[in-house]
Amino acid sequence: MTTVVLVGTLDTKGGEYAFLADRIREHGVEVLLVDAGIVGEPLATPDVTREEVAAAAGADVAALAAAGDRGAAVETMARGAASVVEGLYAEGRLDAIGGLGGSGGSALVTHAMRALPIGVPKLMVSTVASGDTTPYVGSVDVTMMYSVVDIAGINRVSARIIANAAGALAGMAKVTLPELGEEKPIVVASMFGVTTAAVTTARERLEELGYEVLVFHQTGAGGGSMEKLLASGFAVGSLDVTTTEFCDQVAGGVLAAVPERLESAGAAGLPQVVSLGALDMVNFGPRDTVPERYADRNLYVHNPTITLMRTTPDECREIARLVARKLNAANGPTVLFIPLRGVSAIATEGQPFHDPMADEALFSTLREELDTAKVEVHELELDVNDEAFALAMANRLHELLEARP
């Protein structure tokens, strides 16, 4: 039976969840209701009770409520709900997942959604869907439907929105995947505007060799999506040309790396070929949004909405230690390519971010910190976008993939 799982706080939103569940059933789809509320009695009858949800996180509802720490209780119920829906999915009892709520409910329910693989349909009806959705969507396919009105009772507006959500959930739950013909092995690749030439060359080479290449723009979320795909077994290897998100992590830019960046391939034992693409730049929005403390830095106004800042030798050393630590921890074949003539299209000689001191800080710290018993290092007298550099990376990754047992 096709089933939509709904996760929600049935103590405060029970009536709205019951309305959503009824609408879904009208489409001939089964509903499983998971209660993640803690305060009052559930206003709708759950199929998985809050006691079971708390237990899935190793906790006890009564104790959570008695402790009076709302933040901790919500966090625990979110973990429990994630564990419950992972279990339902593994048992084949979850074809889509949905929820509705304000900012608190959205945080709780989407936490559970993000535990499921990419491709499993996820829909959150939310009061906070028109704004920054990063905390809710993260790196995966959580679909956000703006509720327009508060989710507090069924009125003529909320009835229409929730009925639409029911249609979307039922429709997605019924989806069967189309045949795509021959399934080529997937390789992921990380790209930025200033490493486009490198990634394009490498991608074309890998496609020639029989791979399908998925390219991820390094926007913070983009790097996160790439890690998520590596962790969920979609891909066989990683061509991580562009590790630029570490600059934003270290210097407070707007496209910072997710915590698991550059770790998933290694954790899964997958072959990875890594480079230092765009480690010369920290990203900010319009010029007037660059923090005051950076007023005297080498800033480059790329366009009215993007301002770039050259990384310093100190920042480069910190980034190098971060990269080395992550690569040293990898369980799979790991190769680093160092482009001695420049890490981006604007870091080569004569370009605005050309800075041999900063580059040397980056390269020498890597030489000191990398465990060469585990990480194979290639230093090439080329810049990252040189065709020979890109081909060398692609070919080395192919060799590693061919050498797999």
The residues of the shown chain that bind a copy of itself, judged by CB under 8 A, are 22-23, 27, 118-119, 121, 123, 127, 129-134, 137-150, 152, 154-157, 159-161, 163-164, 166-175, 177-178, 180, 183, 186, 212, 214-217, 219, 221, 225, 228-229, 234, 292
Residue closer to a copy of itself, measured from CB, 170 or 347 = 170
Minimum CB separation from a copy of itself for residue 50, in Å?
A: 27
Residue of 140, 144, 141 whose CA lies nearest to 131: 144
Write the DSSP symbol of residue 228.
H
Residue closer to a copy of itself, measured from CB, 8 or 224 = 224
Give the Cα separation of 165 and 297 in Å (integer): 48
Residue closer to a copy of itself, measured from CB, 105 or 339 = 105
Give the Cα separation of 242 and 284 in Å (integer): 18
Minimum CB separation from a copy of itself for residue 252, in Å?
A: 11
Residue of 79, 256, 231, 93 whose CA lies nearest to 173: 93
Minimum CB separation from a copy of itself for residue 142, in Å?
A: 7
Residue closer to a copy of itself, measured from CB, 57 or 226 = 226
Minimum CB separation from a copy of itself for residue 211, in Å?
A: 11
Residue closer to a copy of itself, measured from CB, 168 or 281 = 168
Q: For the purposes of burial, counting CB atoms within 10 Å of the CB of 105, is it exposed (0-12), middle (13-18) or buried (19 or more)?
A: buried
Residue of 214, 351, 228 whose CA lies nearest to 281: 351
Give the Cα separation of 58 and 60 in Å (integer): 7
Residue closer to a copy of itself, measured from CB, 169 or 324 = 169
Minimum CB separation from a copy of itself for residue 41, in Å?
A: 23
Contact 8, 99 (CB under 8 A): yes
Minimum CB separation from a copy of itself for residue 342, in Å?
A: 25
Minimum CB separation from a copy of itself for residue 348, in Å?
A: 26
Residue closer to a copy of itself, measured from CB, 57 or 169 = 169
Give the Cα separation of 14 and 110 in Å (integer): 18
Structure tokens belonging to residue 6: 């709904």
Residue closer to a copy of itself, measured from CB, 32 or 187 = 187
Residue closer to a copy of itself, measured from CB, 119 or 356 = 119
Structure tokens belonging to residue 320: 């190098």
Write the DSSP symbol of residue 117.
P
Give the Cα separation of 22 and 20 in Å (integer): 6
Residue 104 CB coordination number (10 Å): 14
Give the distance, in angstroms, between the CA of residue 64 and the centroid of all CA atoms in the same chain: 30
Minimum CB separation from a copy of itself for residue 361, in Å?
A: 28
Minimum CB separation from a copy of itself for residue 383, in Å?
A: 24
Give the Cα separation of 356 and 378 in Å (integer): 19
Residue of 112, 111, 116 whose CA lies nearest to 91: 116
Single-letter amino acid code for the residue at 340: L
Give the Cα separation of 1 and 31 in Å (integer): 10
Give the Cα separation of 6 and 45 in Å (integer): 12
